[in-house]
Structure 1
Amino acid sequence: MRLPENPSTPRRALLATLAAGTAATLLTGCFSASGTSSEGSRDGRLRLAMMQPPRSGLSPLSDDAFKLSRWSTAETLVRLDRDGNAVPALATAWKRTGRTWTFTLRRGVTFHDGTALTARSVVTSLTAATGASPKPRILDGVDLSVRATGPHTVTVTTGTADPLVPQRLSSPQLSVLAAKAYRGRAVDPVGAGTGPFELVKVSGTASATLNRYDAYWGGKAKASGIDVKFVPDGTARAAALRSGEADIVEAVPVSQAALLDPKLITEVPMPRTNTLYLNTGSGPFKDAGLRAAAREAIDAEQIVKGVYEGRADVAEGLLGPALPWAAKLRGKIARPAAGAAEGARITIGTFTDRAELPEVAQVLQQQLRAAGFQVTLDVREYANIEADALAGRFDAFILSRATVLDSGDPAAYLYSDFASSGSFNIAQLSDPAVDRALTTASGIATGEARRRDIMRAEAAVLATDAAVPLLHERVIQGDAAHVSGAAHDPRERELVTLDTFVR
């Protein structure tokens, strides 16, 4: 194939074009076992091409929980609305008394094995989560206990007053499953959820099959089932949409989006920020002036236009357009003056799991060198680099970070990443003013006042230059022309719902 002689066409997109034909060939017929064809589903079933295979056997106590949520097979006591507020799901109401919350369960709910949802089944599921090792992220640092106080009421008590308990219980990692799912340390979600689709088969890291559950408490789903293929290669996922081998494709790479029919893709701002963390604990960036010099040397717009081909948003702060209230409440930030780099040697780490990050690192290397820094890159798979990043072995680290974690509230992310005792403090930040602001934001009740304090905490972090926010990512989802009702969820908790179907 001869490459177009168009200097404005990104080289990465051209290479992706060459790879697309091979990927399409590899995927041809990959959904044929389900009785479907490249012309679309003929039996009302939806074909999904998903990015990451299961890492923990689809245990809800792991990140695999988000797959169960996106397939509408496992459900939680509450869910989050668009603004991050907790609304009823398996629980219809709740009230707070000090450290204790009482939840009233929905009547008439059955698990996929036919057993009824009761307070005892909720206790079993939540107790398994609190006793897991490691715990689900949403329970990091939270002392939580649960007990049944009636056939359809449960109380959840925390060690200290926690205004976020309902939001925490919306995490897919706290899904409620039938008792049969819990056997020893393993949790098996097959046939154990309460959602409109029943998980009936899992074939390792290759595929999963779900059928409609006609006894679902919320009504009958429009699709008859879901056939899932795990396709880690982004070019292959895009090819599956282009060739008609998949009805819905998640996480279309930026490099592939331009090669698809614009009518088939949807971009949604994600609560995910691409950030350069600067090591404030040791090395050159212990100096506030050098951190300021690095911040001023960075041109995020160049990264958005070049690496992301315009399919991202330049960051004004740590919290982006997926949280529309953030921009309204953001004030001016007082930052220190920049010093001179004078040949300061720095090592920047990042990982290959997200295709764009190594390219981001190369652009930052050029920009920082132009400002006088001597820059070395260390790029590995995430599993092989996380421990070094958390131990402060890099001068800087580029991370694509979810900013609302599992609660729909950014206070937990800010505390985890920037508090002195934060469990994910890559910047090694220890700043009393930041700690005070984070503690205040974490303790106040949900609502407008909490949001104002969250933005004050963001300002306190940014004033240290411990983190330089670069851009806010967008999720790019592909939906075939014959698909209706697919969810476009910035939190990536929903994908196939009651109302999703193939025409």
Structure 2
Amino acid sequence: MKSKHLFLMLSLLFVLSIALVACAGDGEPEETTDENDSAEEGSENEEAAGSGGDLVITVPSDVVSLSAQGQNDVPSSNVRENIYETLTTLNDEQEIEPGLATDWEQVDDVTWEFHLQEGVTFHDGAEFNAEAVKKSFDRLADEKIASPYVFLIEQVESIEVVDDYTVRFNLEYPYAPLLANLAHSGTGIMSPTIIDKDYEQLEDGGDVDEYINQNPSGTGPFELEDWSAGESVTLTPYEDYWGDNAKLDSVQFKVVSEQSSRVAELETGVTHVADQIGPNNMSRVDGLPDASVLQSPSVSVSYIGFNIEKEPFDDVRVRQALSMAVDKDQIINGVMNGVGIPAIGALAPPVFGYDDSIEGLPYDVEKAKELLAEAGYEDGFETTIWTNDNEQRVDTAVALQAQLGEIGVDVEIQELEWGAYLEGTANGEHDMFILGWSTVTADADYGLYPLFHSSQQGEPGNRTFLADDEVDELLDEGRRETDPAARKEIYTEVQEKLVDLAPMIYTHHQEYLLGVSDSVKDFSINAQGIYQIKDAYIEE
């Protein structure tokens, strides 16, 4: 069957040519209608609209945390986004829309008020109101929690309860990406009950999120049924959901680490959706009589990072040399089979702040050798590169090993389990590593600040451990500037500075590749890499 290509890139580029803050409007929700509102259970109307089924999605890695404020990784986010909800949301065009907040008002440059949905309850029965919002954000800002998402609200000085369904955000300074940041799953509102109980177990010597990981409770359309660590997570619809109910009977995120095994399960009908099938399996999936490839652009970047705190990567000449010794086209065409857009920096084309005039370091092996010699490594050196068990990342490591060998750099490849990989790179135990970053707010602040600001070293995102005063100053300035044109100029300067500092090799902006059974209807994946399953169902 022919691939289902989601040609979203042009629309994304059009919308994001203006600042996200300008897209927010007055925060008024759009009217929606539900075709099934008047349909009785089991009626012909409901059958026509479609509903039901137990959806199985095979994923390469297990979730790390079920706390909205836990580990910042896509496998965890894909589950959590169905459990928790945020005050604002981003639609397919990356425009800001209402979520748990019905509308909002900017009182002055540093004060925002949000009016909340009424009649909403958490999965554990607790009431959603202004007090619950305040408690969730206060926990996010708590230094004892040390959430990797705290940078999303660093500019928030305090949150006030105005009345039962109104909260006021008091900012330290004007902050343009606020509404976009509040759409990030890391700001998802958690039940005040689980927050209190997690604090209680923390005081008794437990770990942060220990209670919440076993008892997640949000306001989302799905709630946790079961989490068998290393095997699967199963969600079921929340019957008292405040919006239109989910159509599926359940959804299981099943861990199958090997790409070929995920495709095999799709072939045999064991699974309905196979994530990250890889470019090499596209024709295999498209050749199936009852499934096809779902291909979608992203706001993410794939990169090879250097640990700048370790020799010899503390020398910028070494980092530039290795960057110039890598043939990105070979990686895109050889490893990715041509699927992906060459990257010149961390920001993908649809992201606000992207500048296509920036020129990255060229591919120049001879110049790379000269730089190594200048740095005192004329004969090269030995190093290691870490990757998790993602097949394309492993293949990228193999390609890199061969290319760097041409300039005398002997690279040993070390493959780690996903959780250990995240922990090790957050702790700075690596030399080089292969990873990716999704700019889920579609704003340069999120695409650059956590990756390169010195305050974000480790788990929040800066796993290269870059610390540069000029970069920090520019990133701080970009957060405070509210004029879109001035912000773009700032982020252009940041990106040009990062070309010279070379903390990482930006290989490509990926495209998501999934195998989807023809029986699955209304399923998609957004530009942030998050499955859209609320309206999905299985047609028998």
TM-score, normalising length: structure 1 = 0.78
Asked whether the equivalents of residues 346 and 375 of structure 1 are also in contact (C-alpha less than 8 Å), the reply is: yes
Is residue 57 of structure 2 the alignment partner of residue 48 of structure 1? yes
Residue in structure 1 matched with residue 67 of structure 2 by the alignment: 59
Residue in structure 2 matched with residue 318 of structure 1 by the alignment: 346
How far apart are residue 496 of structure 1 and its match? Answer: 0.5
Q: Among residues 520, 526, 531, which one is paired with 1:489 in the alignment?
A: 526
Is residue 128 of structure 2 the alignment partner of residue 94 of structure 1? no
Q: Among residues 277, 293, 298, which one is paired with 2:326 in the alignment?
A: 298
Is residue 497 of structure 2 the alignment partner of residue 463 of structure 1? no
**Kindly tell me: are residues 82 and 463 of structure 1, through their superposed partners in 2, closer, same or farther at Cα, counting changes over 3 Å?**
farther
Report Cα offsets for 1:296-336 as digits up to 9, x if no partner.
32111111222223233322332234x26666553346889
Asked whether the equivalents of residues 224 and 236 of structure 2 are also in contact (C-alpha less than 8 Å), the reply is: yes
Matched letter for residue 179 of structure 2 = P
Asked whether the equivalents of residues 278 and 336 of structure 2 are also in contact (C-alpha less than 8 Å), the reply is: no
How far apart are residue 476 of structure 1 and its match? Answer: 1.5
How far apart are residue 258 of structure 1 and its match? Answer: 4.0
Report Cα offsets for 1:465-495 as digits up to 9, x if no partner.
3332112222222211011111211212343
Is residue 177 of structure 2 the alignment partner of residue 129 of structure 1? no
**Kindly tell me: are residues 400 and 228 of structure 1, through their superposed partners in 2, closer, same or farther at Cα, counting changes over 3 Å?**
closer
Alignment of 1:75-474 (within 5 A): 75-96=85-106, 97-131=108-142, 133-140=144-151, 142=154, 144=156, 145-182=158-195, 183-185=197-199, 186-187=211-212, 192-261=217-286, 264-278=292-306, 283-321=311-349, 323=350, 329-332=356-359, 339-341=370-372, 342-370=378-406, 372-381=407-416, 397-404=432-439, 407-424=441-458, 425-445=462-482, 447=484, 449-474=486-511
**Kindly tell me: are residues 184 and 197 of structure 1, through their superposed partners in 2, closer, same or farther at Cα, counting changes over 3 Å?**
closer
How far apart are residue 427 of structure 1 and its match? Answer: 4.2
Structure 1 unmatched ranges of 5 or more: 1-40
Q: Among residues 512, 515, 530, which one is paired with 1:478 in the alignment?
A: 515
* 1:87 partner SS: strand
Alignment of 1:11-22 (within 5 A): none
How far apart are residue 244 of structure 1 and its match? Answer: 1.1
Measured in 2, the distance between the counterparts of 1:155 and 1:217 equals 23
Measured in 1, the distance between the counterparts of 2:240 and 2:387 equals 44
**Kindly tell me: are residues 446 and 213 of structure 1, through their superposed partners in 2, closer, same or farther at Cα, counting changes over 3 Å?**
farther
* 2:220 partner SS: coil
Matched letter for residue 88 of structure 1 = P
Report Cα offsets for 1:84-112 as digits up to 9, x if no partner.
44321000122333433221101232333
Report Cα offsets for 1:350-389 as digits up to 9, x if no partner.
223433223222222221222x323232524265566775
Measured in 2, the distance between the counterparts of 1:365 and 1:355 equals 15
Matched letter for residue 109 of structure 1 = V
Residue in structure 2 matched with residue 4 of structure 1 by the alignment: none
**Kindly tell me: are residues 230 and 446 of structure 1, through their superposed partners in 2, closer, same or farther at Cα, counting changes over 3 Å?**
farther
* 1:187 partner SS: helix
**Kindly tell me: are residues 138 and 444 of structure 1, through their superposed partners in 2, closer, same or farther at Cα, counting changes over 3 Å?**
farther
Deviating more after overlay: 458-467 vs 256-265: 256-265
* 2:535 partner SS: coil
Measured in 2, the distance between the counterparts of 1:210 and 1:388 equals 30
**Kindly tell me: are residues 251 and 98 of structure 1, through their superposed partners in 2, closer, same or farther at Cα, counting changes over 3 Å?**
same
Measured in 2, the distance between the counterparts of 1:466 and 1:226 equals 39
Measured in 1, the distance between the counterparts of 2:421 and 2:225 equals 36
**Kindly tell me: are residues 95 and 330 of structure 1, through their superposed partners in 2, closer, same or farther at Cα, counting changes over 3 Å?**
farther
Is residue 73 of structure 2 the alignment partner of residue 73 of structure 1? no
Measured in 1, the distance between the counterparts of 2:323 and 2:339 equals 22
Deviating more after overlay: 329-338 vs 411-420: 329-338
Matched letter for residue 77 of structure 2 = F
Asked whether the equivalents of residues 349 and 389 of structure 1 are also in contact (C-alpha less than 8 Å), the reply is: no
Asked whether the equivalents of residues 235 and 253 of structure 1 are also in contact (C-alpha less than 8 Å), the reply is: no
Asked whether the equivalents of residues 65 and 173 of structure 1 are also in contact (C-alpha less than 8 Å), the reply is: no
Measured in 2, the distance between the counterparts of 1:286 and 1:62 equals 30
User: What is the number of residues matched between the two proteins?
Assistant: 457
How far apart are residue 252 of structure 1 and its match? Answer: 2.5
Residue in structure 2 matched with residue 11 of structure 1 by the alignment: none
Measured in 2, the distance between the counterparts of 1:205 and 1:471 equals 29
Measured in 2, the distance between the counterparts of 1:193 and 1:392 equals 33
Asked whether the equivalents of residues 181 and 189 of structure 1 are also in contact (C-alpha less than 8 Å), the reply is: no
* 2:533 partner SS: coil
Asked whether the equivalents of residues 248 and 479 of structure 1 are also in contact (C-alpha less than 8 Å), the reply is: yes
Matched letter for residue 335 of structure 2 = V
* 1:412 partner SS: helix
Measured in 1, the distance between the counterparts of 2:422 and 2:248 equals 40
* 2:241 partner SS: coil
Matched letter for residue 330 of structure 1 = S
How far apart are residue 78 of structure 1 and its match? Answer: 1.1
Measured in 2, the distance between the counterparts of 1:434 and 1:95 equals 32
Asked whether the equivalents of residues 115 and 178 of structure 1 are also in contact (C-alpha less than 8 Å), the reply is: yes
Measured in 2, the distance between the counterparts of 1:207 and 1:417 equals 30
> Kindly, what percent of the aligned residue pairs are identical?
22
**Kindly tell me: are residues 246 and 393 of structure 1, through their superposed partners in 2, closer, same or farther at Cα, counting changes over 3 Å?**
closer
Q: Aligned Cα RMSD in Å?
A: 3.4
* 1:127 partner SS: helix
